[in-house]
Structure formats: C-alpha cells, structure tokens
Structure 1
Amino acid sequence: MSPKPDLERTVRLAARALSRHGLVHAYGHCSARLDEAHFLVCAPRPMGLIEPGEAGTVVAIDAPLPEGVLGEVRIHQQIYRARPEVGGVARFMSPKAMSLAATGRVPQPRHAFGAYVAGTALWEDAQLVRDDDRARGVAATMGAAPAILLRGNGVVTAGATLEEAVVLAWYLEEACRVELDVLAAGLVDEPPTYTLETAATRATKAGLIFERMWEFLTAGDPESGVTRAGKNAA
C-alpha cells in the first residue's frame, strides 16, 4: 500500500512540529490512519531530524510490526484497533507531562486548554511498552480518553486526525504545567475545576480552534502551508 503524498507530508509536519515546540527530543513517534487496517508511522529517527520527503512506514493494525519500526509503535496498533474513530496518534515526552506523570498524577481540567484533555488516563507501569500485552493494557486503560500519561515513560494522545492529536499534545503539556504550578502553590484542592460535562462543552472545535493551533505549530516548517487540520483522512 502506498500512502497519499499529502498524508506522508502531514506525518512529517506533525513529527517536526512536536520537536520544534519541545514536546519530543530523541524519542517519540506519530502516525496517521490510512484505512481500517493500516496506518502510516513516521521514520524511526529523532522527529525533528526527519527530512522533507522522507518516507514513513505503512504498518498493519493486526500484524507484527515491520522490520525497522520502533517497538512502542505497538501502542498505535492497539489504539487504532480499539478505537475506529481515531485517525492519528502521537507518542511524545514533553517535560511538564513527564514531571507530572512521575508523581502518579494526571492534569485536572483547570483552564481552557485543560478542558480538551479532561479525563486523561494514567498507566502505572514504568517499563517500556515493547510487547503486545503491555500495549493492549495501555489502550484499555486509555479507553476513550484523549490522552494517557505513561508513568516514567512519556505520553500518548489520540485524535480524529493526526493534526488533532498533535494539538492535543500541546494542550496536554499546558495542562500539566498548570497542574504543577497549582501543586507548587499548595493549592491543589482549592482552585475550581471543570466537571467532565462542562469540560466537554468548553472543548469546542468551532472557530477554527484546531486549525489555528496546527498552523501555529507548523509555522516555519519547510513543508508547511500545504495541509490543514482535518484534511488527512484517507
């Protein structure tokens, strides 16, 4: 299967955007669904170093990983298998999310960006997720949540498109920053938080919310200005 050039480009844009904004370093990967049985994952390199035109790898959802694909891409497989509405997955290691996950906490929906990642899950096992059983466990623990913190081992977001998953990564890091600030101030039980119901209402996609953030995150990329949020579906 050969992915469409626009989808290949979106995966590269997403990878470099995550790196440009400090959400990944040497480790991480992102992917976009091709169809009900396949997805495209970025090249197995530091995401910020992926070159324009560099090809990713097509991965089958219900088959062993192809040679050369990073082991934790199993997480992507299991999320796509469990959630047919998901069109994109990002696996990253942003600083504030890593710090918060190390405490065994998840961000509470305390402000506007936090509303978009309300219900973020926590995976307690600090081991690398390089076998199918652990990957299934991550997906099951995540359930329908927009994100999951892997304690000591990074973060995963899932969205209707890869662009959405990348925007959610930025929102999650901001929510974790706020949560750490609240903890540092000793006010964790004081500030009001959104309920899940009010968070769902606040987390609107109207007004080009995701499109504008995607444009911001990809600004300056050598392949930017070509795709727009919501346009990567096969």
Structure 2
Amino acid sequence: MTVQSADRASASDATEVVAAGRTLAALGLVGPFGHVSVRQGDRMLITPAIDLAQASKDTLVEVPLDSASLPARTPGEAWIHLAIYRVRPDVRSVARAIPESAFAAGAVTSRSIPPLHGQGAMLGETVPVHDDARLMRSADIAEPAAHTLGDADALVLRGNGAVTTGSSPGHAVARMRLLDTTCRLYLAARGAGTIRTLTSEEIAGWRAAAPPLLDRLWAHLRRTDGV
C-alpha cells in the first residue's frame, strides 16, 4: 500500500469510527460511557473518554497494540479492545456499549445466551457471558474476558454491558444492535417458560450469509439515525 492510499484508508477508518460512535449514541446503546475502535496494522484508533455523540475525527486516539500503558484521553477500558485484538487476528473493529438488555440477560445466566432468531446467529453459535462485573481497566482483567469471547462476535459482561466485534466499525455496531435484540428475546422467552433455540444448521446458514446482511443493517442504522 502506498503512503497516499494508506492515508486515505486511515481517513476512511476515522470517518467510520466516528459514525459508529455517534450511531451507538443515537440508538441509546451508550450513555456517557462507551467506545469504538478499529485496528490499523500494529495500532488501533479509538474514540476518547467522552460522550460518543460528541466524537469527531480530531478527538480520536491512536494506541499501539502492544501498549503497556494507555495514552492520555484513552478510555480506561480500552484494555478490552487491546486484549481482543491480541487474541483474535480476524477482528478489525470492536464496539463497547451498555445496552440495558445485556445487564438483565447477564444477571439471569452466567454461561451463555442462545440465538433465538436468525439474525441473532450473526453474533455466534451462542453469546458467552463473562462472569466478572469489574471494569476492564487493566490487562489482567481484560485478557480473561477476551478469552471468554472465544470465536463469537459478541460478549456480555455481567453487570458491565457488552462488547461486539466486526470486520468494520459498522459491522461491530450492527452486531451491538442485534445483541440488544437477542438479549430482549431471550428474556421474553425465558419469562414465558419455553425456549426453542436455533439448530446448528440454521446458525451456520445465517452466519455464512452475515457480511452483506450486516452491511445492509449498518446502512439502515446509520441513515435512520442521521449520522
């Protein structure tokens, strides 16, 4: 990649991270807390410790993936982003949010949340629950959470919200919206007393179809929320 094309890619990444952060805020999936990052080679570009509705390209922070400490203005929980990038080379973007449904779902199970609708399968065969409500403010706390994520694309942090991954910031945000829906459906079905999960074949089919569907969902979320 030439210097000029690398610069264009970097500018595009910054635009997408800002749009992803603002969309999370518009959807009500973050309050004053939450962040979005994208991998750029041996570093990540992440939203700072501010309300994501106020994110802009000139507020983003670059953090080396091998960092032993966090630069100024970096969110304290940036460690969970770093931990995921280190153990999941396939992940290019991470979204951290606090959907209320994830708090509720994480309170009723300490293991995992099954997908009950096809789109929920785009989060993984199940959504693991990390049974530790501490803030992800150190590598020692974040690394076990990254391992709990495993090969799934979403993780509920008991008492501490959720994390989703993607090949782009838009996909990570689309999955956060799907996670919110998945948690709500799980709680409703559990309350009704009967849960009928998807079969492994159904899950595999939805996961194979995921990339263009996530593109469409992201385009919808970004447009309808005015970002």
Aligned match of 2:220:
216
Match of 1:112 among 108, 118, 141: 118
Aligned match of 1:89:
94
Match of 1:7 among 3, 8, 13: 13
Q: Would you tell me which structure has more helix in proportion to its own residues?
A: 2
State the shift of 1:206 in Å. 6.2
**TM-score, normalising length: structure 1:** 0.86
Distance 1:182 1:12 in 2: 35
* Distance change (3 Å), C-alpha of 1:108 and 1:221: closer
Aligned match of 2:3:
none
Q: Secondary structure at the match of 2:77?
A: helix
| 4+ residue segments displaced more than 2 Å | 104-107, 195-198, 203-208
AA aligned opposite 1:49: Q
Aligned match of 1:229:
none
Aligned match of 2:40:
34
How many residue pairs get matched?
A: 218
Distance 1:168 1:116 in 2: 7
Match of 2:59 among 42, 55, 60: 55
Q: Secondary structure at the match of 2:133?
A: coil
Percent of aligned positions with the same letter in both sequences?
Answer: 33
* Distance change (3 Å), C-alpha of 1:33 and 1:98: same
AA aligned opposite 2:60: G
Within a 5 Å distance, the mapping from 1:127-146 to structure 2 comes to 127-146=134-153
Contact persistence 1:107–1:114 (CA under 8 A):
no
Contact persistence 1:98–1:153 (CA under 8 A):
yes
Structure with more contact order per residue of length (Cα contacts < 8 Å, sep ≥ 6): 1
Contact persistence 2:97–2:163 (CA under 8 A):
yes
**TM-score, normalising length: structure 2:** 0.89
Aligned match of 1:231:
none
Aligned match of 1:70:
75
